[in-house]
Structure 1
Amino acid sequence: MIRNNFKTAWRTIVNNRAYAVINILGLTIGLTAAMLVFTVVIDELSYDKFWTRAQDLYKVYQDRNMGDGFHQKAPYSPAELGKALKDNFPEVVQFSQISTVKQRFRLGLENPDGIAARVLNADTNAFDMLDLVPVDGRRPNFIAGQTNLLITERFRDTYFKDQNPVGKIIEDVPTWSNEKHTFLITGIIKNIPENTHLRADVVALTKPTNATLSKDGSFFHSRVYYLLEPGTDPQAFTKKMNNWVRHYIELKEGEQVYGLQPITDVYLDSDYDSAITARGNRSTIYILIGVGVLLLLIACINFVNLCTAQAMQRLKETGVRKILGAQRSQLVGQFLTESLLFFLISTLVAIALYALALPVVESFMDHKLEHSLLIDSRILSITLLLVFGVSALTGAYPAWILSGLKPSNTLRGKLFQGNLFSAGGLRKALVVLQFTIAIAVLIALLVVRHQVNYLTNKPIGYDKESLLHIGFRNWEGKGELFKTELKKLPGIEAASIASWNPVDGNTIFSRPSFDHPQKENEKIAIHFIVADFDFTRTLDFKLQQGRYLDAAYGTDVFDMMAASEMDSLERRQYINSRSALIPASTAKQLGIQKLGVTIPKLGYTPVGILQDFHRESLHHALGPVFIFAEQNPDDTGMFIRATPGMGRQAQQSLVKLSKDFYPNRLLDAQWVTDILDKQYEAEQKQQTLFSFFSGLMLFLSAMGVFGLILHTAQQRIKEIGIRKVLGASVSGIVALLSGGFIKLVLVAVVIASPIVWWMMNKWLDDFAYRIDMEWWMFAMAGLAALVIALLTVSWQAIRAALANPVDSLRDE
C-alpha cells in the first residue's frame, strides 16, 4: 500500500510539473531560510555552555547605586577580592583574572607590522576553571619571569607549520608604548571553540595575584571570574559576599555591591562591558526566531493553498475512487504520502542550498558556526523529525478535507459545498495572515532603515569629516613635539592630544559616584577629558557661552603629572581649582547657571559652555563631561584634522612621521567616520536581515496569492465563460477577479500596523535618540504589498479572461 501510494504521488508530481515546481520551490525557500535562521539561533544560544564547569562559572561585576532607582554596572571588581573570598568562603573553588584583547605579534622579518591575534589574558588559575586542553595531555610548567604563551593548534598550523614552536620567544608589536613585550611559547592547546565570548588564538598566562584586599577601598580593578562549588546558590552567596565586603571595607548600605553573572549569560548580556569583542544581543535572537517561524509558516500556508487549488483537477478522480470502494483512511494516506514526498524533495534540495549558503552566513556573522546540520548529527536528526512533523501537520488538513468530499459533488465538479470553504473564508484568512506577516516585516525594515540613517546623519556636535584618531598610547613626553612636526606636513590642518576615545566613548578617567550638586542622596557619574589647548579648534566645537580654555590663564592649565605626586588633600584642592569647559547638557544636568563659580560638592570651575557633543554612540544619552586643558598630556590619543581632499596624503605623512618618532610601535589610526559607522554595525546587520527576509516573505506571499487566484479562476471558469458570451470585457473580468485581493491586502495592513507599531517602539526604546514612526512607513509597506499582489493576480486573471469560453462551456 505504501509503495503504491508513493508511485501514485510521484505520477501526480510528474503529470503536474508546473504545480509541483511552484510547491517545491516555496517549500524549499521556506525550509532553507528556516534551517539557516535556526542554525544561527542555536549557535548564539550555545555560547560558553561547552565548558565542563560552565554551570559553576561566574563573572563578578560591580553594581553602583546612583540614587533615584538608577543602578550603574561596571564589568570589573578588585583583583584582590578573589583571594580574600577564597580564603574566607568554602563556596569559592578558584578565581582568575581573565580578559580578551586583540594584539599583533612579530614572527619574523617578513611581517614587520606583525600578525593579528586574539589573545586571552589570564593567570594560571584559569587551568582549573576553563578547558585549556594541552594537545600532549600534560599541563605545561609555568616559567617564571616570562609571560607564558599557549598557542592553539590552528595558530600553530598557520604560522609554525612543520615546526615545533615550544620554547620559541616571540614579541608583540606595541601600540601603547615603544617597549616591546616578549612571550615564551610553553605549550600547544586544542582550539578554543568560537562559541565563547573568550574567543582566542593564543593564551597569555601570568602568575595569580597574592595581594591582600585593602581596607581603605583602593584596589586594582580587573575582570575576575570565579569557580564555585557545584550546587552553590548564587543569590545566597552574592548576599554573603556583599555583607562581608561591606563590613571589611566599611561601605555604606546599598552604595556599592558586587553581583555574579553566569558565564553562559555573558555573551548575550554584556552591554555594560565595551571591552568584550564577542557580544550578542537577545533581541536579535528573538527577531531571528520569529522570522524563522514566520517563513516556515508562510511556506506551509502556500502548500495548503496550492494543494486545495490543485484539487479542482482531481475531483473526478477522487469521486471515482470513492464509488469504487476507497475508504477515507486510504484517501487520507494517499494525500499525506503526496505531502510527505513534496516535503522530502524540498528538504533534500533545501539541505543542498543550506550547505552552499552556510559559508555566506558565517561570513556575515564574522565567525565560524560551531553548530550546524552538516557537523552535528543531533541537530540534523531533530531537523528531519521536525520537517516530518510539519509535513504531516501541513498535509493533514487538505488530505482530510479532500478525502471527505461527497462523490456526487466531486463528479459534478462542485468543491467544498456546505463547509468552511463555501465562501473561501479560511483560504482568504490564510492569505491575509501571509500578507500581515510580510507587511509587518516590511514596516520593520523601513523603521530600522530610517533609524540607522538617523543615527549616521544626526549632527554630533563636532565635525567628523576628514578627522583621524590615534588610539590611546604613551607619548613618552614627545606628544607635543610629534604634534608640532605633524602640523608642518602637507595635508594636515590641525591636531590635538586628547584623552577621549570615540571608539567606545571612554576617557582616560572618570568618577562614577559624585554627589549630585542639586539632588540630595543621589550620585552622578562624570567623565573627564584632558586635552591640549588645540582640542576645541581641531574638532570644531562651538562655544555657546563664556570662553575657551587658554594657556594665558594659570588656572586653565592642568598638570596631571604634578597632581599624581600630591597627597590626596592637595590633589583634591588642586583639581578643584582648575578651570573647565562643559557642554550645554552638563550645565543643565548640574544646574550650572553662572560661569566662573566653583560647583558645590564637585569642585571645578566652568569658564565656558560648548554646544552639546556626543562622547559615545547615540544608544546613550548625554552624560556630564568636563574638559580640562594640559599643555603636553600623556597616556592619551590624538585627533588629526586633514585638509579636505588630501586624506590619503595625510595618512601617508602620519605613518612616516610615526615611524620616525616611534619605530617599534604600530600606528593605531582610524578615520572617525569609520569609527562612528562601526558603532551601529549591529543595526546595519539587522537592516540587511530585514531586507533579505522581507523580500523572501513577499515572494512567498505572492506565491500564496497565485495559488488562491488559480483556485478562484478554476472555480469560476464557467461563470467567466458565460460573462464573456454575454459581452463582458477583459478588463471587467480582471477587475472582478482582482477586487477581492485588494481588500485582503488592506485588511492585512490594518492588522499588521498596530502590532508592528508596538514592537518597533519597544525596539526604538533601546536608543537614547530615536525617530518617531510616521504614517508613510505603513502606507509604503501596504502599497508595496498591494502592487506585488496585483501583479501576481493580474497575470492569472488576464489569462482566465482571455480564455476561449467555448472551452469552459462545451461539456454542459
Structure 2
Amino acid sequence: MLKNHLKTAWRTMVKDRTYATINILGLTIGLAACMLVFTMVIDELSYDKFWSRADDLYTVYEDRKMGDNIYLKHPNTTARLGKALKDNFPEVEQFSEISAREQRFRIGPENPDGIAARVLEADTNALAMFDFEPVGGRLPTFVSGQKNLLITESFRDRHFNGQDPTGQIIEDVPTWSEEKQPFLITGVIKDIPQNTHLRADAIALTKPANAQLSKDGLWGGGKVYYQLKPGTDAQAFTKKMNAWVQQYIENPKQKQKAFGLQPLTEIYLDSDHDSNVTVKGNRNTIYILTGVGALLLLIACINFVNLSTARAMKRLKETGVRKILGAQRSQLVGQFLTESLLFFLVGTLLAVGLYALGLPVIESFIGHQLVHSLLASPDIFGITLLLIFFISIITGAYPAWLLSGFNPSNALRGKLFRGSMVSAGGMRKALVVVQFAIAVMVLIALLVVTNQVNYLASKPIGYDKENLLHIGRRTWEGKGETFKNELKKLPGIKAASIASWSPVNGDGSFYLNAFDHPLKENEKLEVHFIVADFDFAQTLGFRLQQGRYLDAAHGTDAFDLDAVLQMDSLEESQYVNSRSALITASTAKMLGIREMGVPVPKLGHPPVGILQDFHRESLRHALGPVFILGNPNPDYAMMFIRTVPGMEQQAQESLVKLWREIYPNRLLDAQWVTDILDKQYEAEQKQQILFSFFSGLMLFLSAMGVFGLIVHAAQQRVKEIGIRKVLGASVAGIVRLLSTDFVKLVLVAVVVASPVAWWIMNKWLEDFAYRITIQWWMFAAAGAVAVVIALATVSWQAVRAAVANPVESLRDE
C-alpha cells in the first residue's frame, strides 16, 4: 500500500510541475530560514549552561533603590565580601573575582602594536569553579612571582606556528600605564565554547585575595563569582547573607546595603547595566527571532495548504472514481498525506543544503560561531526532523481531509461540497489574509526600526560629535597636561581635554554616585560626576545657558578626588560644599536649583554654570543628574581631541608621532567619537538588516503562494475567460476580474495587521528613553507595498490568461 501511495504521489508531482515547484520552493525557503533562525535562538538560550556546576554558580550584586520602585543592580562587590561569606557560611564553596578585557601581547618583532586577545583576569579559584580543560594532561600548578597565562588552542595555533609556547614569557602592550607586564605561559587549554559571556582567548591568573572585610564598609571591587553547594536555596541564602552584612558592618551609611544573587545562566541575557559584561544578549532579540521563525514556517505551510486545496478541483474526478471503486476515506487520506510527506521530504532535503550554505553567513553576521548548529548537534538535528515530520502531518491533514471528503456524485460532476457547511474557498481566502497580514506586520516593523535607528543617529546629543577623537581611559603619569599642550601646537588639532567620561558607556569618575535625594526623603539618587580639566566644556562644544564655565583662575573650581578619598565624613562634607561644578539644564530642573553658587542640599558642589543638556550615554537611557567638576590635571582618565575639519588625516598622523615620542611603549587606541556612537546602536542596526531580509522573504513566499492560486484560478476559469473574450470582454476587464478578489484580501490583511503591528512596535520602542512616534504613513506604505506586490503577481498570470486564444480553451465543447 505504501509503495503504491509513493508511486502515485511521485507521478502526481511530476505531472503538475508548476504546483510541485511552487510548493517545494516555498517549503525549502521556509524550512531553511526557520532552521537558521531557531539555531540562533537555541544558541542564545544556551549561554553558560554547559559548565558542569552551572546551576550552583552565581554573582552577587548590590541592590540599590534609585527612585519609586526603580532598582539598580550594581554589579561590583568586593572580593573581601567573598572571603567573609566563605568563612562564615558553609553554603559557599568557592569564590573568584573575574573580569574580561581586551589586551595586546607583543609576540615577535613583526607586531609592534601587539596581538589583540580577549583575556579573563581571574584568581586561581576560578579553575576549580569552571571547566577549563587542559590540552594533554592536567592544569598546571601556579608559578608564584608573576602573572600566569593559560592560552587557548586556537590562540596558540594562530600565533605560535605549531610550537609549544609553554614556558615562554610574553609582554603586553600597555594602554593605561607605561609599565609593561610580563606573562608566563604555563599551559594551553581547549577553546572556551563561544556560548558564554566569559568568552576569551586566554586566562591571566593571580593568587586569590586574602584580605579581611572591613567593618567600615564594602568599598570598591569588581564582578565576583560564587560557587554554592548543590541544592542551596538561593533566596534563603540571600536573606542570611544580608542579615549577616547588616550585623557585621558598623558604618551607618554602609550598614543598609542589600545584596542579591544572579544565576550564572542569566548573566548573558540580563546584564544591560553591567559594563563588566562585554558579551551580552537581549531577551527581546530572542522573542523577535522566535516570532520571525514561527511566522516564516507558518507562511510556508499556509502556501502548501492553499495550493493543495486550490488544486482539489483538478482531482475531483479522480477522487470520485476512487470512491465508486470502493476506496475508503482513510485510504484516500493516507494517499494524500503520503503526497504531503513527499513534498516535505524533498523540501527538507533541499532546506538542509540551503541551511548548510547559510550558516557561515549567519555566523559572520552575528560575529561568532553558533555552537548548537543542527549539523554539529545530532540530537538537535534529530529533534528538528521529528518536528518537521509532525508539522508535515498537521499541514497535510486539512488538504487530505478536504480532498477525501467529496461526495462521489458531486465529484464526478465537478462540484465541491454540495450542501456542506465547509467552504474550501473561504478557508483559502482566510489563509491568504493571514500570510499577507504577517508580511505587512514585518514591513511595518521594518519601517519603525529603520526610522528609530535614523532618529538615534541624527538626534542632537548636546555636543559636537564631528571631528572629535577619543582616547580610552589610562593613567597619564603626570604628563597628561604636557601631552595635551603639545598636541594643541600640532597642525590639524584645534583643542584637547582630559576627562573621566566616555561616550562609549557613559562612564564617569570613581567618585561616589549614590546620594540621598535633595527633595525626596528616603530615596536614593544616582548622580553622575565627570571630573575633567578646564578645557572640557569648550573642547566638546557644550553650550552655556547660564553662569560661567569652570576656570583655573577661580581657586574653588579645582577639585581633587584623591584628597577627598583620604578625608573623613566631616572634612569631605566641608570640602564638597566649597568646590564649584557645572550642571546640565535637566539637573537644575530635577534638583530644584535656581541660584548659582549655593551648595546643593545633601550633594554640595555649588553650581556656577548651567549647560545645555547633553546625552552622557546612549539614547536608550533618560537624562540623569550630571555634575562636571574641574581638575587641572586629571591622571586616570580619557582624552578628547578636536580636529580641524578637512585635516583629520594630518591630525591623526601628528597625534601618532607625538604619542610615540612621549609614550613610546604604550598603545594608542584613538577612535572617532562618531564611530563610537554608531556602535552603541549596532544591535538595532542588525535588527534593521534582519527585518529587511525577513520582510522580503515573507513577501516573496506570500507572493509565490498567490501566484500558485492565480494559476489554478485561471485554469479553473479557462472556459469562462474564453467565453467572455468571444462575447467581447477586454484584456483589462479580464485582468480586473481575476485580480480584484486577491487585492481585496490584501487590503483586509493590512487592516488586520496594522493594530497588531502598532501594539508590538510600541512595546519595542519602550526600551528607548527617546523614540519616534509611529506614524500613519508607515501603515499606508507597508500596505501599498503589499498591494503592489500582490497585484504584480496576480496581473502577470491574469494577463497571460486574458490574452490566450479562446479557440484553444473552447475547442473540446
Corresponding residue number in structure 2 for 1:81: 81
Report the secondary structure of 1:470's partner residue.
strand
Asked if 1 retains the 8 angstrom alpha-carbon contact of 2:19 and 2:708, the reply is no
Which stretch has the larger CA shift, 204-213 or 308-317? Answer: 308-317
Contact 1:491 1:647 in 2 (8 A): yes
- Compared CA separation, residues 423 and 361, structure 1 to 2 (3 A): closer
1:266-665 equivalences under 5 Å are 266-419=267-420, 422=423, 424-564=425-565, 566-665=567-666
List per-residue Cα deviations over 1:110-140 (Å, max 9, x = no partner): 1111111111111111122100122233231
Query: What is the deviation of 1:755?
Result: 0.9
Question: CA offsets, 1:545-575, max 9 Å, x none?
Answer: 1111122211112234454555553344223
Cα distance 1:779–1:510, how it changes in 2: closer, same or farther (>3 A)? Answer: farther
- Structure 2 contact 309–428 (Cα < 8 Å) conserved: no
Distance 1:385 1:621 in 2: 47
Deviation of residue 252 (structure 1)?
7.2
Alpha-carbon shift at residue 809 of structure 1 (Å)? 3.6
Distance in 1 between the 2:731 and 2:283 partners? 53
Moved more, 554-563 or 73-82: 554-563
1:732 aligns with 733
The residue aligned with 1:42 is 42
Question: Quick one: which amino acid aligns to residue 392 of structure 2?
Answer: S
Q: What are the within-5 Å matches in structure 2 for residues 15-30 of structure 1? A: 15-30=15-30
Change (3 A) 1:119 1:672: same
Pair 1:246 & 2:262 matched: no
Contact 1:312/1:714 (8 A) holds in 2: no
After superposition, the Cα gap between the structure-2 partners of 1:327 and 1:203, relative to the gap in structure 1 and judged at 3 Å, is same
TM-score by length of 2: 0.98
Q: Aligned partners of 2:232, 2:263: CA distance in 1, in Å?
A: 12
- Structure 2 stretches of 5 or more lacking a match? none
Paired position in structure 1 for 2:106 = 106
- Aligned partner of 1:166 in structure 2 is 166
CA drift of 1:418 comes to 3.5
Q: Secondary structure at the match of 1:545?
A: strand
Stretch deviating more after TM superposition (332-341 or 447-456) = 332-341
Q: Which amino acid aligns with 1:183?
A: F
How far is the alpha carbon of 1:218 from its aligned partner?
4.6
Whole-Å Cα distance in 2 between the matches of residues 810 and 405 of structure 1?
29
TM-score (norm 1): 0.98
Determine helix, strand or coil for the equivalent of 1:511. Answer: coil
* Higher alpha-carbon deviation: 101-110 or 572-581: 572-581
Superposed CA deviations along residues 319-370 of structure 1, whole A, max 9, x for unmatched, are 2233333332222222111111111111111111111110110011111111
Per the TM alignment, residue 189 of structure 1 is displaced from its structure 2 partner at its CA by 1.3
Distance (whole Å) between structure 1 residues aligned to residue 769 and residue 324 of structure 2: 70
| Partner AA of 2:723 in structure 1 | I
| Structure 1 spans left out of the alignment, 5+ residues | none
Q: Name the structure 2 match of 1:230.
A: 230
Q: Secondary structure at the match of 1:256?
A: coil
3-state SS, counterpart of residue 756 of structure 1: helix
Partner of 2:768: 767
CA distance in 2, matches of 1:472, 1:115: 20
In structure 2, do the counterparts of structure 1 residues 140 and 677 end up closer, same or farther at CA, with 3 Å as the change threshold? Answer: same
More displaced 10-residue stretch of structure 1: 593-602 or 447-456:
593-602
Q: How far, CA to CA, are the matches of 2:641 and 2:419 in structure 1? A: 79
Contact 1:510 1:525 in 2 (8 A): no
Secondary structure at the counterpart of residue 105 of structure 1: strand
- 1:414 Cα offset (Å): 2.5
Deviations 1:612-652 (A, max 9, x none): 00010001111111111222211111100111111111111
> Which residue number in structure 1 is paired with residue 697 of structure 2?
696
**1: CA distance between counterparts of 2:553 and 2:494?**
23
Return the alpha-carbon distance in structure 1 between the equivalents of residues 75 and 170 of structure 2: 31
Equivalent-residue separation in structure 2 for 1:525 and 1:87 (angstroms): 33
SS state at 1:77 partner: coil
SS in 1 for 2:58: strand
What residue identity is the alignment partner of 2:603? L
Worse-superposed segment, 93-102 or 254-263: 254-263
2:163 and 2:797 map into 1 onto residues whose CA distance is 68
Change (3 A) 1:737 1:423: farther
Name the CA distance, whole Å, in 2 between partners of 1:404 and 1:767: 54
After superposition, give the CA deviation of every residue in 1:269-301 in whole Å (9 maximum; x if it has no partner): 000202211101101001101110110000010
The amino acid of 1:745's aligned partner reads V
- Indicate the larger mover: 29-38 or 162-171: 162-171
Alignment partner, residue 135 of structure 1: 135
* Cα distance in 1 between the residues matched to 2:164 and 2:65: 53
- Alignment match, 1:60: 60
Aligned-partner residue type, residue 450 of structure 1: N
What is the deviation of 1:217?
0.8
Question: How far is 1:678 from its partner?
Answer: 0.3
Contact 2:22 2:705 in 1 (8 A): no
Q: What CA distance in whole angstroms lies between the structure 1 residues aligned with 2:460 and 2:540?
A: 13
Deviation per CA, 1:653-687: give whole Å up to 9, x if none.
Answer: 11111111101111011100000000000111111
Between the aligned partners of 1:304 and 1:72, the Cα distance in structure 2 is 50
**Contact 1:309 1:710 (C-alpha < 8 Å) held by counterparts:** no
SS of structure 1 residue aligned to 2:513: strand
Return the alpha-carbon distance in structure 1 between the equivalents of residues 511 and 687 of structure 2.
33
Alpha-carbon separation, structure 2, partners of 1:276 and 1:504: 12
Deviating more after overlay: 671-680 vs 791-800: 791-800
Q: Counterparts of 1:691 and 1:719 in 2: how far apart (Å)?
A: 41
Q: CA deviation at 1:254?
A: 9.6
Q: In structure 2, give the amino acid aligned to 1:40.
A: M
User: What's the secondary structure of 1:260's corresponding residue?
Assistant: strand
Letter in 1 for 2:5: N
* Superposed CA offset, 1:698-753 (max 9, x none): 11111121233233333333333332232222211211221122221121111111
Q: CA offset at residue 450 of structure 1?
A: 0.6
* Offset, 1:800: 2.1
> Residue type matched to 1:174 in 2?
P
Distance (Å, rounded) in 2 between the aligned partners of 1:84 and 1:218: 11
SS at match of 1:518: coil
The change in CA–CA distance for 1:320 and 1:507 in structure 2 (over 3 A counts) is same
After the TM superposition, which of the residue ranges 513-522 and 312-321 deviates more from structure 2?
312-321
Deviation of 1:66 (Å): 2.6
Answer yes or no: is the 8 Å Cα contact 1:142–1:148 preserved in 2.
yes
C-alpha contact (below 8 Å) 1:64/1:255 kept by paired residues:
no
User: 2:259 maps to which residue?
Assistant: 258
| Aligned partners of 1:483 and 1:495 also within 8 Å | yes
Q: Distance in 1 between matches of 2:419 and 2:688?
A: 47
**CA RMSD, aligned part only?**
1.6
In structure 1, the residue matched to 2:198 is: 198
Aligned residues: 812
Residue 687 (structure 1) aligns with? 688
Asked if structure 2 preserves the Cα contact closer than 8 Å seen for 1:438 and 1:698, the reply is yes
Are 2:735 and 2:795, in contact at CA under 8 Å, matched by a contact in 1?
yes
**Counterpart secondary structure, 1:178:** coil
CA drift of 1:415 comes to: 3.2
Aligned counterparts of 2:421 and 2:657: Cα–Cα separation in 1? 79
Q: Find the aligned partners of 2:662 and 2:448 in 1 and give their Cα distance.
A: 48
2 CA distance for matches of 1:422 and 1:456? 51
| Secondary structure, aligned partner of 2:512 | strand
Note the C-alpha offset of 1:255. 4.3
Paired amino acid for 1:165: P
CA–CA distance in 1 between the matches of 2:480 and 2:734? Answer: 80
Letter in 2 for 1:298: I
Distance 1:393 1:65 in 2: 51
C-alpha separation between the residues in 1 aligned to 2:527 and 2:724?
A: 79
